Structure 1
Amino acid sequence: MKIKALSVVSLISLTCMATVADYFFTNNFYQDIENRYGINSVQDFKDWQQLIEDGENLDDFSRLNLVNQFANRKIRYRLDIDHWGKSDYWATPIESLGTRGGDCEDYAIFKFFTLKAMGVDESKLRLMYVRALTINEPHMVLVYFENLRDMPLVLDNLKTKILPANKRTDLKPIYSFNGQGLWLAKAQGLGNAKPTSTGNKNWTELLKRIEQGD
């Protein structure tokens, strides 16, 4: 079943005329959520709507904290194979919140689109693949650059506190990306790295599914 409302990709591109909530969180949207995920899920989406509305008039750092806390509280960690029956699946924000579950990639994706809906400039946000050294496993976080020359802040489902990247010595950066490109990460100068022409297949497929209303 598809969500019969404007896609998240569409809603975050809207400017000036009205808030995201005016376009996206309609009665039809909530009826579709109830049909798809059950009546108990509706309140989670109303909470998401309120979160976005509250964040529209806040500074970016306040937005980061609100979204990080919300996602880490609402979404339970689940492996893709257990949750979706696939070894690697990137869920849309609607899927993650509707099922109240996801892995590290799904947390980061949910935070990325929610912050964009609040009005955070996409150029300041990147999904970053890292290696979590404490468990020696690949991991994904969301990073935020106030300015590209600044040390980015890390939003992580493994940590409740947002910290600068240089304080996260347990993470080894590999590469980062957003809708504007993909960057190969280095220990220094992450913000100054030039995007490569390499795409990310999972990211492209995710955006297509969001546009389709998943």
Structure 2
Amino acid sequence: MSRFVTRTTARAGRRLRQGAALLACVAGLWSALAWGWDKDRLTESAAKLSPKTQAAVKAMIQMAERAAAMPDERERLTAINTFFNTRVAFRDDIETWGQIDYWATPLELLDKGAGDCEDYAIAKYMSLLSAGVPQARLRLVYVRAQFQGRPQAHMVLAYYAQPESEPLILDNINPEIRPASLRPDLTPVFSFNGEGLWSGVGATTAGNPLVRLSLWRDLLAKAKAEGF
């Protein structure tokens, strides 16, 4: 069984239940996001920024609309994964935002033209929802990644064709979409979407899920105000 078919353990149960309660608190915010973005409001939000940002947001909307028309979900994954991997430069939050950990909305990401792993994963997630991919098939996954010979906390987006199937991994480090079994460099720690929170494997965490989900709550509030 793939390591990315995650399951709750007794050791993680209490923290996951607390996280599930937090997810329930943001369900009202999420319900608007789950159906895609408000193009008019998003365009208005972009108009307050630079012409370059306006053009990037327009391109994102058009890209998601083209992806929505694709009959094969794998093609949708490829279109959206490629869009953000090629348009956005990787940069740490401390350099971009002056903070150790900041979760940017897709609008903020395109305005800066740079972001870290969470920002890539979030932008792909929201774009895929807007392109018609069901929320239940997508999870934001914190992993322990082996990168340049050392482990580090990282986030990817996982796509599950079926609940218990091996997921495909969308990543900014490795731009090729691969099944989880072909990404032995990644060990899942925990994952979430707007519907739930799941425990991964491995003793080394990628941070407190409750703290991370507080960032998720704040992100959804920002995104909703922008038109997502």
TM-score (normalizing by structure 1): 0.81
Q: Paired residue for 1:130?
A: 143
Q: Percentage identity across aligned positions? A: 36
The 3 A distance-change label for structure 1 pair 63 and 8 is farther
- Which residue of structure 2 lines up, in the alignment, with residue 91 of structure 1? 104
Q: Which residue is 2:178 aligned to?
A: 163
Which residue is 1:39 aligned to? 51
What per-residue deviation string (whole Å, max 9, x for no partner) do you get for residues 70-128 of structure 1?
A: 01011111100110111100011111112111100000000000000001000000000
Conserved 8 A contact 1:182-1:198: no
Tell me the equivalent position of 1:119: 132
- Specify the code of the residue in structure 1 equivalent to 2:32: S
Residue in 1 aligned with 2:225?
212
Q: Is the 8 A contact 2:187 2:201 kept in 1?
A: no
* SS at 2:226 equivalent: coil
Q: 1:51 aligns with which of 49, 59, 63?
A: 63
Report the alpha carbon displacement of residue 34 of structure 1 after superposing the two structures with TM: 3.3
Unaligned runs of 5+ in 1: 1-6, 15-19, 188-195
Matched, 1:179 2:194: yes
Partner of 2:119: 106
Match of 1:30 in 2: 43
Between the two proteins, the alignment pairs up a number of residues equal to: 190
TM-score if structure 2 supplies the norm length? 0.76
Question: 1:43: how far off?
Answer: 1.6
Whether the aligned pair in 2 keeps the contact of 1:67 and 1:111 (CA below 8 Å) is: yes
Structure 2: give runs of 5+ residues left out of the alignment: 1-28, 203-208
**2:22 aligned with 1:10:** no
C-alpha deviation, 1:202, in angstroms = 1.4
RMSD (CA atoms):
2.4
8 Å CA contact retained: 2:94, 2:101: yes
Relative CO higher for 1 or 2, CA cutoff 8 Å, sep ≥ 6? 2
Q: Which has the higher helix share?
A: 2
